[in-house]
Structure 1
């Protein structure tokens, strides 16, 4: 039983010079389906020098569920979040950022899930706006998720619901003392190991994670490699303290190798990095690979990332740059082959493939193996062995609501065709064809009002890329038959109109 007068949820929000950017978050809190007397929002003003503090004070005076703490500037979200925990009265605590926002029933759905399954941690489905969010984790609901049976390790931001007594029992707090990168990781990883039950709520998009284009939020500056890798090692120490050497530890370590190191040494991210920074970052990556990771960590990566790890471990920065220039041109290309209608349902057949510039991604036959073809020489063919990934290559079709960013995996049947390369070559590339039926009477639990776009998502050999398909489905009301707009026809009309003007 919850103590009378105790809120069900405390939302803790660090705020620093956010100004008008906080309005969307506040508006989303004020329209929560959870009654105002059943939750509280604690904004911790971290010494803002603009009008943020005054804005928050006005809101607190107007709304009983909003509280404000003012502190001297700490320079990082850790101190404000920890103070929020100390002042929270709710049975559960959710950590939000000042530029993000909640869906209307988010707090109610998260709390109901936590109570139904007696969970210490609940991860609500996230939608990304200009930033990535976990994809596979939210493919389905998971009501007893662990690091061993679910891809929890893919979600290490703190934007989750935590039982407050659980946080206090284990003294789970964010590391303080200067600007500590990856401060979320130390708390969240420990929480995953200590949680008696962790749930993943995937059938309702709870939280919208936003990338501020003005880059003025506190963690947007270019990271310092030395202190950054100290934080990486701290996270790895937590994993090591709770696991024995072997497949589980390797899989968990792989997350930091992939996300925090290799993904910064590839494609457009590498090409936009300053030269001296890149040299230092590559050196720190080399040290961690050599000092901390067992061979099984890199071995479990797909071939593209194995190649990046191989080059990084050997300090081959020039080859990393060469590979990045090639990879920067990679994208998924998709077409719609057929569309069939039946009341509120639409059946769509699509075809898609990965290309770099105009050339499909190729694989070379080598002693019965499929070897990924890259524009870099002197890489062990075993590193580039893509046989398993070619067999497991996947095509998903995803519906995305344009107004909110909600994404839904659609049921799809697909096949992968091996297509021979140009005459005189021994390479093949993969072309995927799939069919999905979208029932707009049932999609997203019947909450379909709005405009829905389709994406063909290809996963193979180290890439997950989306091809935007040129159909837009518009539902005037929830569950209604959609109107369909073929974006190809719209574009053709625009192109024709421009052509006429040019000719004149």
Structure 2
């Protein structure tokens, strides 16, 4: 029997039909079935979950089922799965999530190739925003790469010998944050960590019944604050203390402080919950902040986060609420130059910044060589009349363009970076601006591979002064020239091209339709065709199209009520395509309209003689006397060759 490469460990409790949703992704892996095992551990289910699992095991030799009394949390079942695992690596999966079809094979190969103790696979999700960690595949790193702290869920691949060597186990019983405890310990111990970012490995799915949310996280039975302290101390024990805000320990603790503690002071949480419920959380967060987190962690916060921290430190709940109201009104603004196709990429110059609730830019004030937070954010906030200094306006600031696969929930990252800078705004004020170039390459955007057929929405993400915003790249803020809807023929010429069609959605967001998933070449590009007709000074038979690297693209058209398969072929000048119909149409002699599906107006006219296609004409084409004579004599082979040579 071949060596087991991977053990997949799945804790379950009263899972019901969600087993059938997850199981196909586990059992349909590209890795051979005899190279991996799936270990289900039932945590005392009281419904039909165990019966469903036993049926799976009966039908699949690589599935095993173990049971235990209910523990109330995933930690104990995962630990039991570890005791039964025989694979070289273990992969943790939750019962309501899914794996990409090649996930185990790719993760295992990446692990072995790089001799990794931990492999962090790209996660896609219906519940979370894109994570910068997954911009690039990394062969080998350590915890010094503090972006790893963006991903502390257990849904990763771990070398089993590494887990056993260091005695890594999940806390058992009702223990919220058990995943953070296990993963942060693994990061600290690992000699090599690899990141696989060019393939969606794990789909973290939101359940219809809300069963995988954390609505009970602050219930005293689950020990949220005590557990937070435990994880903080674990990180401190594994790193060296320092007063340097950029020292490793302080960088690792920054994530815990920002997400688990400081979030109790910010929108939406502090504004969503009733004060009677929120104030005890606020006070508990204050105690943990002051007792567990070094001053250097809090000094290293960006501008807006520093204000939240100071209000928390003073125990000023009302001030924190007032500040959160102002920050909640802050929005991101996207501005763009004309969209255009260049070298097979959809490109535009883009700028992102932040606006206050009144629509004015969020600014910093300069006083005696130091920067101070916009006073409009501090109106009514205790201590705000004196202002809040921002020692480093660029602290933790970044921005990026991200693309969401609407069908598959995958986030992709176009090439190129946006630069964040301070830009003068007059009268001693400046604003933070991120700018650069949008550059979407349909043939490389999916981790270096072509995008699959589908629709892709384009977003901008900014983190400025500690304020995170995801903003639609919107037609309202762009120079909406007709070129924005100009399609391109993309793809290798030998294997045949595809149509990539940019358009503005009903919500005014930029989207890219690849291979005519929702939009159609012809009816959905009439506006671009008309604009390009005007620019060229003559009627074109089709919308003006960048050929890029594309080869012929097959399309369906209607010619005189007959549906035929045509091809879009790059024109000689390399900046447009032409429609190529079959040489014989078996239609009566004459001029017949050529129409794309769902279009009402002809895109061209086919001139036919004795069933043979003579030529295509644009809708506004008028034949000269010479052309009419050639058509009249089209049956003469010598004249037909003359016509073909002239191209008229």
Shorter-chain TM-score above 0.5: yes
| Match in the other structure for 1:501 | none
Separation (CA, whole Å) in 1 of partners of 2:241 and 2:435:
41
| Match in the other structure for 2:366 | 365
Separation (CA, whole Å) in 2 of partners of 1:380 and 1:64:
70
- Describe the shift of the 1:489–1:111 C-alpha distance in structure 2 as closer, same or farther (beyond 3 A): closer
| Match in the other structure for 1:448 | 451
Separation (CA, whole Å) in 1 of partners of 2:351 and 2:309:
32
Q: Comparing 85-94 with 287-296, which one deviates more in the overlay?
A: 287-296
Separation (CA, whole Å) in 1 of partners of 2:126 and 2:236:
34
Secondary structure (helix, strand or coil) at the match of 1:446 reads coil
Cα offset for 1:447? Answer: 3.5
Match of 1:41 among 35, 38, 51: 38
Q: How many residues align?
A: 482
Secondary structure (helix, strand or coil) at the match of 2:498 reads coil
Conserved? CA contact 1:267–1:326, under 8 Å: no
Q: Deviations over 1:213-236 (max 9, x none)?
A: 532237442423682111011112
Alignment partner of 1:182 is 2:182 = no
Secondary structure (helix, strand or coil) at the match of 1:19 reads coil
Separation (CA, whole Å) in 2 of partners of 1:94 and 1:470:
40
Match of 2:199 among 201, 204, 211: 204
- Describe the shift of the 1:57–1:484 C-alpha distance in structure 2 as closer, same or farther (beyond 3 A): same
After superposition, residues 449-468 of structure 1 pair within 5 angstroms as 449=452, 450-468=454-472
Cα offset for 1:358? Answer: 4.0
Q: Deviations over 1:361-392 (max 9, x none)?
A: 232222223322222241597854064328x7
Q: Deviations over 1:342-363 (max 9, x none)?
A: 4742112333322243423232
Alignment partner of 1:389 is 2:386 = no
Cα offset for 1:477? Answer: 8.7
- Describe the shift of the 1:477–1:274 C-alpha distance in structure 2 as closer, same or farther (beyond 3 A): farther
Separation (CA, whole Å) in 1 of partners of 2:57 and 2:369:
68
| Match in the other structure for 2:408 | 404
After superposition, residues 64-75 of structure 1 pair within 5 angstroms as 64-75=61-72
Match of 1:161 among 151, 154, 157: 157
Separation (CA, whole Å) in 1 of partners of 2:353 and 2:12:
43
Q: Deviations over 1:95-142 (max 9, x none)?
A: 111121111111111000111111111111112212346x23222222
- Describe the shift of the 1:196–1:381 C-alpha distance in structure 2 as closer, same or farther (beyond 3 A): farther
Conserved? CA contact 2:146–2:251, under 8 Å: no
Secondary structure (helix, strand or coil) at the match of 2:168 reads coil
Cα offset for 1:152? Answer: 1.9
Match of 1:235 among 231, 242, 267: 231
After superposition, residues 76-115 of structure 1 pair within 5 angstroms as 76-115=73-112
- Describe the shift of the 1:381–1:198 C-alpha distance in structure 2 as closer, same or farther (beyond 3 A): farther
Match of 1:143 among 139, 143, 148: 139
Q: Deviations over 1:428-450 (max 9, x none)?
A: 43444432222212222224112
- Describe the shift of the 1:341–1:244 C-alpha distance in structure 2 as closer, same or farther (beyond 3 A): closer
Match of 2:168 among 150, 167, 172: 172
Q: Deviations over 1:241-262 (max 9, x none)?
A: 2222112222222221111011
| Match in the other structure for 1:495 | none
- Describe the shift of the 1:211–1:372 C-alpha distance in structure 2 as closer, same or farther (beyond 3 A): farther
Conserved? CA contact 1:46–1:71, under 8 Å: yes
Separation (CA, whole Å) in 1 of partners of 2:463 and 2:212:
32
Separation (CA, whole Å) in 2 of partners of 1:79 and 1:219:
18
After TM superposition, where is structure 1 displaced by more than 6 Å over at least 4 residues in a row?
Answer: 471-479
Unmatched tracts of structure 1, length 5 or more:
492-504
Alignment partner of 1:469 is 2:473 = yes
Separation (CA, whole Å) in 1 of partners of 2:425 and 2:127:
36
Q: Comparing 143-152 with 476-485, which one deviates more in the overlay?
A: 476-485
Separation (CA, whole Å) in 1 of partners of 2:263 and 2:507:
37
Q: Comparing 81-90 with 194-203, which one deviates more in the overlay?
A: 194-203
Cα offset for 1:11? Answer: 1.0
Conserved? CA contact 1:8–1:91, under 8 Å: yes
- Describe the shift of the 1:355–1:125 C-alpha distance in structure 2 as closer, same or farther (beyond 3 A): same
The structure having more radius of gyration, on CA atoms, is 2
Separation (CA, whole Å) in 2 of partners of 1:252 and 1:379:
30
Conserved? CA contact 2:75–2:171, under 8 Å: yes
Question: Relative contact order (C-alpha < 8 Å, sep 6+): which is higher?
Answer: 1
| Match in the other structure for 2:587 | none
| Match in the other structure for 2:345 | 345
Match of 2:501 among 479, 483, 493: 483
Secondary structure (helix, strand or coil) at the match of 1:243 reads coil
Conserved? CA contact 2:264–2:282, under 8 Å: no
- Describe the shift of the 1:271–1:9 C-alpha distance in structure 2 as closer, same or farther (beyond 3 A): same
Separation (CA, whole Å) in 2 of partners of 1:205 and 1:88:
24
Cα offset for 1:328? Answer: 2.3
Q: Comparing 368-377 with 187-196, which one deviates more in the overlay?
A: 368-377
Separation (CA, whole Å) in 1 of partners of 2:207 and 2:264:
20
Separation (CA, whole Å) in 1 of partners of 2:187 and 2:12:
26
Secondary structure (helix, strand or coil) at the match of 1:464 reads strand
Please tell me the root mean square deviation across aligned C-alpha atoms, in Å.
2.8
Separation (CA, whole Å) in 2 of partners of 1:15 and 1:248:
36
Conserved? CA contact 1:338–1:350, under 8 Å: no
Separation (CA, whole Å) in 2 of partners of 1:292 and 1:465:
29
Match of 2:209 among 194, 209, 214: 214
Cα offset for 1:23? Answer: 3.1
Conserved? CA contact 2:414–2:440, under 8 Å: yes
Unmatched tracts of structure 2, length 5 or more:
476-484, 510-648
Separation (CA, whole Å) in 1 of partners of 2:294 and 2:257:
11
- Describe the shift of the 1:222–1:122 C-alpha distance in structure 2 as closer, same or farther (beyond 3 A): closer
**Structure 1 or 2: more helix by fraction:** 1
Conserved? CA contact 1:147–1:192, under 8 Å: yes
Cα offset for 1:309? Answer: 1.2
Separation (CA, whole Å) in 1 of partners of 2:7 and 2:489:
35
Q: Deviations over 1:172-192 (max 9, x none)?
A: 11111x311111122212211
